Structure 1
Amino acid sequence: MIKLATLSISKSARQLLPSTFDRCLGLRRNHTAAQGHGPLHGVKVIDLTRVLAVRSSETGIFRGPFCTQILADYGADVLKIENPKGGDDTRLWRTAAEKKIWKSTQKDISAYFCTINRNKRSMTLNLKQQTGCDVLFRLVKEADVVVDNFVPGKMDELGIGYESLRKFNPLIIHASVSGYGASGPYAKRAGYDAIVAAEAGMLHITGERDGQPTRPGLGMTDMSTGLYLHGAIMAALFSREKTGKGQKIDASLFETQVALLSNVAMSWLNAGEVAQRWGTAHPSIVPYQAFKTKDSYLVFGATNNRQFQVLCKLLGRTDLATDARFADNNSRLKNRKELTATLSEILISKPTTEWMRRLEGSGMPYGPINSIDSVFSHPQTAARRMVQTLPFDALSCGELKLLG
């Protein structure tokens, strides 16, 4: 259940009675977590991650909030700390189409904000004032995890870094995520998804073979960092159960993206092979890419010789399976251009639905390139409950659709 209430306490912090995590906030506990429906029920997380794109002290869009949202989905009680002056910037990041969906009285909410903050509660806190820091320390006493995306060193400057936090709670797990990590010559440099994706190699290997570098359609480096970080936090919680000690976690976009270079990196490190852009094609498997059909695009692959023989039969070209140029994957790699041209001529002759019909039940990996509306009308999307609808009175229709 989404809780997007905002409680401003920056001016009245001194009047708050020292009490429990929940009573200090004056807010009801998240319903799902309270019912014990998640494996992290009872774990309390202070979420200092935010999007404030115009300030040099904070960085990132998805990486931090996405991480804490996953913890909230698992049942953790996540308290999001927002800026007293307007809250998180993403509250105002509405598209043109959103003008008609929100109630006129709702000015500080957007679909973008809901994308990375479900199952959290919110409050505002001015961490540049001592009263705000005092409230944070009182919350930390009863928390398990603090997550932030400040530029390294900024929390220490504010007097709320790990060494300060652990004085109030030696068991605290403090997870920080930044563009380049807490050490090294780029530590203080602000990092954003597209910038780090460029600098750490992702954009170099993404795009058409002879075209320009292309940014993925989503913030994959940001979100992958959030995934790595949530796993590290889970491991730290498990470690604390065994050792009785908290710890500091340092994650970065740069390290995540370097790690995600995977097989491309291994080929360079061990064989000196320089990576190329392949479009939708695969560097070491042929065929395995998108092909234009009569009306759209179809992606399929033959990851071994048996599958290639099956594919040739389904396409009505058994002669290709016995052609010495395409006898095995090594041969197909050498003759990629010729095979791709031949398959392209075949595929463009019929619509995608016809090729899908032929491939059905073959055991071949295949699928169309769907538009977003096709994704959400897909039978598997419904079968796996990848869209959830919840009551939300900020919307004119009274319901909010969320990703599963």
Structure 2
Amino acid sequence: MRPLEGLKILDLSRVLACPFASMILAELGAEVIKVEQPGTGDETRGFEPVVHGDKGDVSAYYLAFNRSKKSVTVNLRSAQGQEVIRGLAAQSDVLLENFPTGTLKRYGLDYETLKPLNDQLVYVSCTGFGMTGPYAHRKGYDTVFQAMGGIMSLTGERGGGPVKPGLPVADLTSGLWVAIAILSAINGRHTSGQGSHVDFSMFDGQVGLLSLAAARWFTLGEVPERLGTEHPGRIPSAAFECSDGKWVQITGSDQHWKPLCELLGLQAWATDPTLLKNADRLARREEVMQGLGDAIKKLSQEELCRRCDAVGVPAGPILDVDEVLGNEHVAEREMVVKYDHPLIGEFKGLRVPFRFDGLDDPKAERPPLLGEHTEEVLSRVLGLKPAEIDALRTQRAI
């Protein structure tokens, strides 16, 4: 048994953040019914890159965030389609949506309308800026939230301009926030006996990640400057270039300073009482970083990592994506999973990274074809007869 078996999620969301959240919960055992627009589906079904198969083409973007779900097509602009959603919501534990603020209210699918149908429903609204506040009706994407939430101002080389991280951090972390919100609300329902409405703002989610930067502002009134891979409050903590042009990230505390200096041949620094404490090294940042960099530049990446491992200094090679996915530890931990898809054959994905003792581990199943489960879900959950489903199709409600 997987941890979330028995939990039913009605997923009206599209694109990345919320589909990522519902995929995680699906692979933990929840039944996720993904509602998509008839004919086109989630717009990411048309996103690049495309996997070309013998029986058709599929978006790898869609595949990455929609495994293990059931696809039902419903026209939310149709009165009959809206009634289908109300029926499914009445039988669900969770409804997840990421429409612009106010959209579902116009369709009669907002929390206040659905609550009388199912007072235990956990209704999660994920919007750009939340249901309230001066930005509530503002539009935004991942990079906009990165920009406005502060992370982009912190990212980049010293003295250079702002840089976005290499992954859609705002979308991905919002998906994790949403998953936490759903599980929290479900647990709260066990105590209160009733559901709730969760108002999650992706902008709020990014502000909530400022953590150390916010603590420095609250404590020191400091607006952190961009430092590349360096840490504002710890030395050593940075990426260093090696003799072979490859890079290693070293992050250590006071107890690592002496062994690091010794493995680098910096004997004088290893015993210098004015460098034993982090605060003292911070005061001499330029000198210390230059000295470490010069010493490390004499060693290859492999040799530096070997020496660090031998004396317990935390260090790791900076790996490209292909190196990560081919890494021996990644293979041993079975982080790459495979599934068979009816259009493209075997394809790979990344597993939900949990291992359970006493419960079954997450299970990765293929993403659904558009509308693949419409008839099965409507007949099983709503009890509709084949003729009734055909009528809905004729009315273009599904």
TM-score, normalised to structure 2, is 0.85
Instruction: Give the CA deviation at 1:325.
Output: 4.8
Instruction: Give the CA deviation at 1:85.
Output: 3.6
Q: Describe the SS at the equivalent of 2:56.
A: coil
- The answer on whether the counterparts of 2:100 and 2:127 sit within 8 Å (CA) in structure 1 is yes
- The answer on whether the counterparts of 2:265 and 2:295 sit within 8 Å (CA) in structure 1 is no
2:239 corresponding residue in structure 1: 290
Instruction: Give the CA deviation at 1:302.
Output: 2.0
1:399 corresponding residue in structure 2: 346
Does residue 189 (structure 1) correspond to residue 138 (structure 2)? The answer is yes
Q: Describe the SS at the equivalent of 2:66.
A: coil
Q: Describe the SS at the equivalent of 2:240.
A: strand
Q: For 2:267 and 2:37, how far apart are their aligned partners in 1?
A: 65
The 5 Å alignment of 1:105-144 reads 105-107=55-57, 109-144=58-93
Q: Describe the SS at the equivalent of 2:33.
A: strand
1:48 corresponding residue in structure 2: 12
Does residue 228 (structure 1) correspond to residue 171 (structure 2)? The answer is no
1:357 corresponding residue in structure 2: 306
Same amino acid, percent of matched pairs: 37
Match of residue 303, structure 1, among 240, 244, 253: 253
Instruction: Give the CA deviation at 1:135.
Output: 0.6
1:250 corresponding residue in structure 2: 199
Q: Give the letter for the 1:113 counterpart.
A: Y
Q: Give the letter for the 1:314 counterpart.
A: L
Q: Describe the SS at the equivalent of 1:300.
A: strand
Q: Give the letter for the 1:236 counterpart.
A: A
Q: Describe the SS at the equivalent of 1:361.
A: helix
Cα-to-partner distance string for 1:90-140 (whole Å, 9 max, x where unaligned): 1122326x34xx22x324x21110111011011211101101001111111
Q: Give the letter for the 1:321 counterpart.
A: A
- The answer on whether the counterparts of 1:179 and 1:189 sit within 8 Å (CA) in structure 2 is yes
Match of residue 43, structure 2, among 89, 104, 107: 89
Does residue 63 (structure 1) correspond to residue 12 (structure 2)? The answer is no
Q: For 1:185 and 1:144, how far apart are their aligned partners in 2?
A: 31
1:39 corresponding residue in structure 2: 3
1:74 corresponding residue in structure 2: 28
Instruction: Give the CA deviation at 1:393.
Output: 2.4
Q: For 1:331 and 1:214, how far apart are their aligned partners in 2?
A: 30
Match of residue 241, structure 1, among 172, 186, 190: 190
Q: Describe the SS at the equivalent of 1:299.
A: strand
Q: Describe the SS at the equivalent of 1:230.
A: helix
- The answer on whether the counterparts of 1:178 and 1:191 sit within 8 Å (CA) in structure 2 is no
Instruction: Give the CA deviation at 1:269.
Output: 2.2
Q: For 1:238 and 1:390, how far apart are their aligned partners in 2?
A: 32
Q: Give the letter for the 2:153 counterpart.
A: H
Does residue 162 (structure 1) correspond to residue 126 (structure 2)? The answer is no
Instruction: Give the CA deviation at 1:191.
Output: 1.9
Q: Give the letter for the 2:45 counterpart.
A: R
CA RMSD of aligned residues (A): 1.3
Instruction: Give the CA deviation at 1:213.
Output: 0.5
Q: For 1:339 and 1:240, how far apart are their aligned partners in 2?
A: 54
Instruction: Give the CA deviation at 1:166.
Output: 1.1
Q: Give the letter for the 1:257 counterpart.
A: Q
Q: Give the letter for the 2:29 counterpart.
A: G
1:22 corresponding residue in structure 2: none
Q: Describe the SS at the equivalent of 1:399.
A: strand
Cα-to-partner distance string for 1:71-103 (whole Å, 9 max, x where unaligned): 10110000111112411111122326x34xx22
Q: For 1:391 and 1:253, how far apart are their aligned partners in 2?
A: 33
Q: Give the letter for the 1:138 counterpart.
A: G
1:173 corresponding residue in structure 2: 122
Q: Which runs of 5+ in 1 are unaligned?
A: 1-36, 52-61
Q: Give the letter for the 2:9 counterpart.
A: V
- The answer on whether the counterparts of 2:36 and 2:71 sit within 8 Å (CA) in structure 1 is yes
Instruction: Give the CA deviation at 1:324.
Output: 5.1
Q: Describe the SS at the equivalent of 1:400.
A: strand
Instruction: Give the CA deviation at 1:216.
Output: 0.5
Q: Give the letter for the 2:349 counterpart.
A: L
Q: For 1:134 and 1:255, how far apart are their aligned partners in 2?
A: 33
Does residue 276 (structure 1) correspond to residue 225 (structure 2)? The answer is yes
Q: For 1:314 and 1:254, how far apart are their aligned partners in 2?
A: 44
1:59 corresponding residue in structure 2: none
Match of residue 205, structure 1, among 146, 154, 158: 154
1:33 corresponding residue in structure 2: none
